[in-house]
């Protein structure tokens, strides 16, 4: 199983700011979310993370909980799972961008915000990463700790739909997606699953 985990909350997330390559740490809520994920998720054979602090810290908590398992792996950092580069918009509210630019960004995957990265570029690097993990994920649980845009890109890969479909998805802090890669085509089993964090997915419930 390919298990995609959005990192825990940061202060910028809580304030609703666009958070791309800026590198703030998890806040207290984010740390609690990471611990809840570690308690609820299955022990992984591989744990892969974006290079950004908020993802690496979440992944480190997961790895710490898994080290007692026979086949648990240390965290691997893969830059292809880094968040979209928002360029000049990083750390700013979404309202900074005018309505016309928002419309173009949401309908044209090749649109590049000033100093940033296109959605098409994000999807290209994530598809490559997914293909490389697919065989291992077919044999065991592979956890990837990443961000909103790369995880949505992985979901569009699994569904075989256009890059722009990612704009029609919502992914909460510390939410989990699951993709079965054991068959002839990827199969999306869960999207934006908050149960590991809210406690309803724990064995004692």
If you average pLDDT over every residue of the chain, what do you get? Answer: 92
> What 8-state DSSP symbol labels residue 93?
B
Residue 83 designated active-site? yes
| pLDDT (0 to 100) of residue 73 | 56
- Consult the annotation and say whether 178 binds a ligand: no
Instruction: Write down the catalytic residue from 57, 83, 117, 147.
Output: 83
Residue 65 has pLDDT above 80, yes or no: no
Gap between the Cα atoms of 172 and 9, Å rounded: 9
> What tokens does 157 get?
């890969």
> With pLDDT > 70 as the criterion, what percentage of the chain qualifies?
92
Class of domain 2-198: alpha beta
85 annotated to bind ligand: yes
Domain ranges of the chain: 2-198
Residue 95 pLDDT level (bands cut at 50, 70, 90):
confident
Residue 205 reports pLDDT greater than 80: no
Do 46 and 73 touch, CB atoms closer than 8 A? yes
pLDDT per residue as tens digits for the range 125-138:
999 999 999 999 99
pLDDT value at position 71? 44
Mean pLDDT for the stretch of residues 65-80: 71
Question: In the predicted model, what is the mean pLDDT of residues 102-130?
Answer: 95
Any binding-site annotation on 33?
A: no
| Nearest residue to 6 (alpha-carbon basis) of 33, 40, 44, 39 | 33
Helices within 75-161 (DSSP H only):
99-107, 119-139, 148-159
CB proximity list for 40: less than 8 A, separation 6 or greater: 195, 196, 197, 199, 201, 202
Name the token pair of 94: 């979404």
Please tell me the predicted confidence (pLDDT) of residue 96. 87
Residue 82: which of 125, 115, 45 has the closest Cα? 125
Supply 131's token pair.
């293909």
Annotated active-site residue in 7, 57, 117, 147: 7
Residue 193, pLDDT above cutoff 90: yes
The shares of helix, strand and coil residues in the chain, as percent rounded to the nearest 5, are 45, 15, 40
Query: Binding residue per annotation — 7?
Result: yes
Residue 168 annotated as binding? no
User: 70-80 b/e with 16+ CB inside 10 Å = b?
Assistant: eebbebeebeb
The verdict on whether residue 8 carries a ligand-binding annotation is: yes
What would the pLDDT profile of 164-186 be if each residue is shown by its tens digit?
A: 999 999 999 999 999 999 999 99
Whole-number pLDDT of residue 98: 87
pLDDT at position 200: 56
Q: Is 115 annotated as a binding residue?
A: no
Averaged pLDDT for residues 107-120: 94
Q: Say if residues 20 and 85 touch (Cβ distance below 8 Å).
A: yes
């Amino acid at each position: 199983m390919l298990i995609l985990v959005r990192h825990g909350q940061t202060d910028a997330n809580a304030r609703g700011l666009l958070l791309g390559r800026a590198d703030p740490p998890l806040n207290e809520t984010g740390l609690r979310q990471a611990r809840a994920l570690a308690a609820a998720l299955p022990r992984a054979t591989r744990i892969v993370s974006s290079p950004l602090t908020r993802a690496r810290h979440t992944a480190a908590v997961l790895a710490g909980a898994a080290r007692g398992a026979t086949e648990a792996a240390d965290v691997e950092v893969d830059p292809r799972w880094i968040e979209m580069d928002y360029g000049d918009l990083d750390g700013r509210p979404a309202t900074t961008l005018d309505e016309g630019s928002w419309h173009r960004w949401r309908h044209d995957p090749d649109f590049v915000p000033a100093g940033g990265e296109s959605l098409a570029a994000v999807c290209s690097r994530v598809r490559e990463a997914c293909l490389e993990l697919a065989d291992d994920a077919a044999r065991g649980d592979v956890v990837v700790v990443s961000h909103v845009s790369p995880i949505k890109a992985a979901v569009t890969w699994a569904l075989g739909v256009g890059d722009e479909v990612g704009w029609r998805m919502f992914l909460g802090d510390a939410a989990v997606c699951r993709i079965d890669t054991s068959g002839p085509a990827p199969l999306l089993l869960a999207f934006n699953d908050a149960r590991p964090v809210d406690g309803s997915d724990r064995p004692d419930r």
